[in-house]
Amino acid sequence: QVQLEESGGGLVQAGGYLRLSCTASGRTSDLYNMGWFRQPPGQAREFVAAISASGRNTDLAHSVKDRFTISRDNDKNTVYLQMDSLRLDDTAVYYCNIGREYVGAHYYAGDYWGQGTLVTVSS
């Protein structure tokens, strides 16, 4: 079993930045492909970013491609989402996930999710 815990959310003004962290605990001897998703108020959960187990491959949703960066520190069992130039429509609960499969640019979410961290962008 692996547990995921997100942190770093909060209230930020449009144009500002935040860095989210997702730390894995439990069975962390294996490396996993990891992803970030978000769920805006009243909307479905959507893909934001993915990173391979080694960290060599990453993908970002089109809406965040030039503003967000995903990275990881395997020594700390932590994946990061650096969010710059935040916009009002980035407001959402952000979740990290262990991927079931990550092939090419396609990330398939697995069953392990964190509890989420709320990001609120204000004008």
Q: Which pLDDT score is estimated for 123?
A: 95
The pLDDT assigned to 103 comes to: 87
For residue 27, the model assigns a pLDDT of 75
Backbone dihedral angles phi then psi of residue 34, each to the nearest 5 degrees: -130, 150
Q: What angle do CA 71, 108, 100 make, to 5 degrees?
A: 85
The whole-number pLDDT of residue 29 equals 61
Return the pLDDT at 38.
Answer: 98
What tens-digit pLDDT sequence spans the chain (123 residues)? 889 999 999 999 999 999 999 999 887 766 789 999 999 999 999 999 999 999 999 999 999 999 999 999 999 999 999 999 999 999 999 999 999 889 888 999 999 999 999 999 999
- pLDDT at site 31: 77
Alpha helices in 20-108 (DSSP H): none
Instruction: Tell me whether strands 10-13 and 117-122 are parallel, antiparallel or unpaired.
Output: parallel
